Amino acid sequence: MIGLGAFGIALAGLVMPAAFLSLSSISPEATFAMTSLALAGAALLGIRRLSRELDARSSAASIIFVVWAFATLGIATRLWWDLAVEVML
């Protein structure tokens, strides 16, 4: 839960600046790029936090880290895909 919580906190901290820049941009490509960077940053911060909290020294901790990392990346990818379809099409 720590990794997903870190992802949520990072995403919440990045959403407002990204939303401002996205809404004030003129082109859809700029909106797409800014929001993509915000989502990627939030996902990486969440995975980094999870890695630090688990301190994967055992094989069980490594497996848990990989599963939660994929879950975090899956959430970020789904949010990104919803944005990409909305903005670019």
Residue extents of the structural domains in the chain: 2-88
For 29-39, what is each residue's pLDDT tens digit?
Answer: 777 787 778 77
Nearest Cα neighbor of 44 from 19, 18, 12, 76 is 76
Tell me what pLDDT residue 43 has.
75
How is residue 43 written in tokens? 């996902």
C-alpha to C-alpha distance for 32 and 36, rounded to whole angstroms: 6
- Which parts of the chain sit beneath pLDDT 50? none
Alpha helices in the chain (DSSP H): 2-24, 28-54, 59-88
Instruction: Look up residue 47 and give its DSSP letter.
Output: H
What type of residue is 15?
Answer: V
